[in-house]
Structure 1
């Protein structure tokens, strides 16, 4: 209770539904789909890659219901750290499982932020043929710029989120309108022979496409990480999660069909700037540059929204005494975490040395192994132990959404490259070892004396 009082005293609930929804949408609608559509096409060898977006949307919606219920039940900043601790027991295994979430956050937080910045840098090559070192420097500068932009109170950030989100959605709507007004069904549905034959390569390709779609849909949980700064959180957190998923799923599917109805998929799968190529084919070079500029705004907004969410996790853990106290520091006037924000900003700049493909794959695999599967189990455990509360969101058709989410996460792991799975396993093992060393020193679970 004391820790909750600290959070209530220092974090201002200054972001309403529109701000919360904007924070999610900015996280979701970044440069991802504008760069990864060719990757999905290549993974499945044709426009049947849309199956990846459809299955990814189903997985995101089911997992989003898990997040919505947990976020409504525990509306504090820090998200999964609180969910896993309470579900598995704050004085037993929950200490280890929630610590593993924190452990992986120190890596995937910077990786996730860096992926948006690297995507921004790659798309900037539409305007100038930058060298690889120059592209890395652009991504690093963007991460540091976002750190400066976010070093301010949450109220101004919420307003900025709404403004940038409007520009992002307008860009997507322009793409959809352009495709609808120049729609060629023969191109959009030009499936190669045996496109849907359930062979081994089909299932592996589908797994890769779903992984890519999962990355692009990712961000619907952003509002849960800043739950302590959301107004009326028991209602607004579930709303922000589910509305953002449904909206972005419809947007992405429409964008995919629009682009494939204009650009032949055999050409599109090799494109480095598919939206620019798409707009150029319809409106010419000046319009293509304008579209590229808007996409850069979208990718910048996405990277800064991810930094906003992840910067609250080490702070929440430090307030609870599970992380070094330096991460609990807040700005005396702005009332926002300082050390945690600086760590994530600088860490993301360092991660920009890796390629976008590597960042995406490692990110999704680690999150699945150390967070997503555990949260599906957590919501079941909490349901069993607690009474029904009419003020809390409870997912419909329970436990079906949980089962679908679990199957989806296991499928992604089973079809991922072994080296990426190995990174997750090594990270988990090192986290367990570090936790046990610290727990023994502090005489905490499992070394607590009776």
Structure 2
């Protein structure tokens, strides 16, 4: 099956909408309190700034690779092409291997967050919560079971809901007249020492999770119109827009609620709106947050479903995943498999565990590996080979690698799980090759 079977219909607006809906999701609404609790002071805003800076730096790596290899699968192609024939095969296999675990974790995290936030509207028991998260995943798969033109339109509709909600939250804080107070007091009691550095690292694991998704457009590279222009633009627009929205949202909440309440709240945005406008408004904003969580699962599942397809089409993964739907022209086997595994994960995991596991699973291969791959590619092919060139190369690449190493170390015991998954993948790769060589 040729790459041309995926058609280029996604515009810059639609690509940006897909990125931003993936980025926002349930993350910032459930992570806001966690970040504040870890930092334990008005300087918790620094964790959100750190997340934005890392995303900007890392997006430069994605832009160089995404514009040079604008095909379905994103990182699968980047790793395969960057490292050359032998190492590239191993790295791309490891990426698909960890994607089959971490992609369903990402989808499940948004669905679990959706169910958790539903409890503000209606108290749910353990199994009722699981039923809600499972139903979200089933509905997402149903909505994605259609052609890319329709999906592009659905994405823009979901994105509008995201923007309306964020503007309402930020506007509510501004209207109180104390919007700038958290910024004025951001350094009250601040001391830069090892304790702060450790807290910033742990908090950044959570804030970075809320920015993930800025690269989703790269997984859809084979369906983007004018990818050399639109892939970098959609990423940088998405990161800039989301960074402003996150910072303003955190400042708004901190301008209205005391820090102690923010740190302990499970429904901080709903409580924030309730204090501003009463219980009815709080119920409405909760429904809108659920809309955002749903939109995030939609975008993430869409992007990830293209990765096993790309690997299978390339002969590096099970052939069945290379199948496109006979009339709607999308990788339906890949979509159904990831949705099924995500459904199972949503039954067994808690949200905090999933967030840390997601980063631990993907940092080594996808983020650090990909950045090293870009350095290798430039050495092998020269700077003129890439279609978009970052300023100050290779400084941003080296910075990205160092920061990702620090974030990886901050995942704690999950770091060991990430390493174990990678080592198991290496073992399976060589066993598979030995078996294939024997035939």
Partner of 1:130: 124
Matched, 1:304 2:298: yes
Partner of 1:328: 322
- Three-state SS of the structure 1 residue aligned to 2:20 is helix
| Residue 441 of structure 1: how far off its partner (Å) | 1.8
| Residue 388 of structure 1: how far off its partner (Å) | 4.7
Q: Partners of 2:177 and 2:125 in 1: how far apart?
A: 36
Matched, 1:110 2:104: yes
Partner of 2:224: 230
Q: Is the 8 A contact 2:64 2:386 kept in 1?
A: no
Q: Partners of 1:310 and 1:236 in 2: how far apart?
A: 19
Partner of 1:292: 286
| Residue 191 of structure 1: how far off its partner (Å) | 6.0
Partner of 1:403: 398
> Structure 1: which 5+ runs fail to align?
none
Matched, 1:214 2:208: yes
Q: Is the 8 A contact 2:359 2:411 kept in 1?
A: no
- Three-state SS of the structure 2 residue aligned to 1:298 is helix
Q: CA separation of 1:307/1:270 partners in 2, compared to 1, >3 Å: closer, same or farther?
A: same
Partner of 1:340: 334
| Residue 442 of structure 1: how far off its partner (Å) | 2.1
Which residue of 349, 369, 376 corresponds with 1:381? 376
Question: What's the CA shift string for 1:322-367, capped at 9, x where partnerless?
Answer: 0010000111111100110001111111111201100000101111
Q: Partners of 2:53 and 2:187 in 1: how far apart?
A: 25
| Residue 407 of structure 1: how far off its partner (Å) | 1.5
Q: Provide the aligned length of Structure 1 versus Structure 2.
A: 437
| Residue 196 of structure 1: how far off its partner (Å) | 2.8
Q: Is the 8 A contact 1:62 1:405 kept in 2?
A: yes
Q: Is the 8 A contact 1:77 1:224 kept in 2?
A: yes
Which residue of 126, 136, 149 corresponds with 1:142? 136
Matched, 1:274 2:268: yes
Q: CA separation of 1:86/1:191 partners in 2, compared to 1, >3 Å: closer, same or farther?
A: closer
Which residue of 245, 254, 261 corresponds with 1:260? 254
Q: Partners of 2:424 and 2:255 in 1: how far apart?
A: 48
Which residue of 119, 124, 128 corresponds with 2:113? 119
Matched, 1:155 2:149: yes
Which residue of 335, 355, 361 corresponds with 2:356? 361
Matched, 1:16 2:11: yes
Q: Is the 8 A contact 1:187 1:262 kept in 2?
A: no
Matched, 1:7 2:16: no
- Three-state SS of the structure 2 residue aligned to 1:393 is coil
The TM-score normalised by the length of structure 1 is 0.94
- Three-state SS of the structure 2 residue aligned to 1:26 is helix
| Residue 190 of structure 1: how far off its partner (Å) | 5.2
- Three-state SS of the structure 1 residue aligned to 2:152 is helix
| Residue 296 of structure 1: how far off its partner (Å) | 0.5
| Residue 130 of structure 1: how far off its partner (Å) | 0.6
Partner of 1:76: 71
- Three-state SS of the structure 1 residue aligned to 2:264 is coil
Question: What's the CA shift string for 1:369-416, capped at 9, x where partnerless?
Answer: 221001111111222233455982111121121122111111112222
Q: Partners of 2:262 and 2:284 in 1: how far apart?
A: 20
Q: Partners of 1:428 and 1:345 in 2: how far apart?
A: 22
Which residue of 31, 38, 46 corresponds with 2:33? 38
Q: Partners of 1:292 and 1:243 in 2: how far apart?
A: 27
> Aligned-residue CA RMSD in angstroms?
1.7
Q: Partners of 2:39 and 2:396 in 1: how far apart?
A: 26
| Residue 68 of structure 1: how far off its partner (Å) | 1.0
Q: CA separation of 1:188/1:260 partners in 2, compared to 1, >3 Å: closer, same or farther?
A: farther
The TM-score normalised by the length of structure 2 is 0.96
